[in-house]
Structure 1
Amino acid sequence: MSSPDPQVRAARNQSTSSARPGARGPVVAVTGAASGVGALLTERLAASDEVRQVVAIDERRGGCEAAEWQILDVRDPAIAEKLRGADVVVHLALDLDLETDAAARTAYNVRGTQTVLTAAAA
């Protein structure tokens, strides 16, 4: 997975608000929210009365309409801004594509995790 150029990244950095007025509970950010376990978790969190808001982060928009979608690569340092205000961060984004080079896949996964951890700690 290659990082998009700055113009593409800026165009894709869109959001939709999902905050529930008056709702209590944490704001939960989920990376890898468009597919697999991330999509299931995003749907369940968004349906929960225990969660105030779900910030769904992925390179493409998933099906959960109740989440606030942030479309970007987890290696992008701009993720720090998207995680600001999150009480909980669940990092599920990863490259499992066996068709890609193993070294590139590992580099993507490690760099993405480093970027998310750094952003969450800020």
Structure 2
Amino acid sequence: MNGLIAKGILPSALIVGTGCASVEDTATLSNHAMDKGCAGTLIHPSFFFRPADDDGIVDFYEQLVRRLGTNARNIVLYHFPEVTGASLSPSRSAASFKFPNSATATKFRSISIFIAKLQFSSNLIKELDRD
């Protein structure tokens, strides 16, 4: 990212992959990207303990948003379970957008979803439309 910016690529044209095994490392890289003015971050769930369950994945994102503070915006949730071993169900994905803490919920409104499977996307949209 730094090399691209140094060569004249506008940070606002970059969405940077910052997903790591730990919340701390992911937050450090995500804060750096957002502080540089990048358009957003692409973050997969923590993948260290396999198989990851829904509660652990949602907890990862909740902790991440708290650590990012005002930089918790334009997050692309990268759902690629074949590689990460962390598969989040559509109903739990929808629930992760509805944290009880209103400040966190507001920050999660700017999250997009990148999904490798059309059926997952369709089910997630149905879950999100229930409210």
TM-score higher than 0.5: no
Structure holding more helix per residue: 2
Give the TM-score of the pair, scaled to structure 1: 0.35
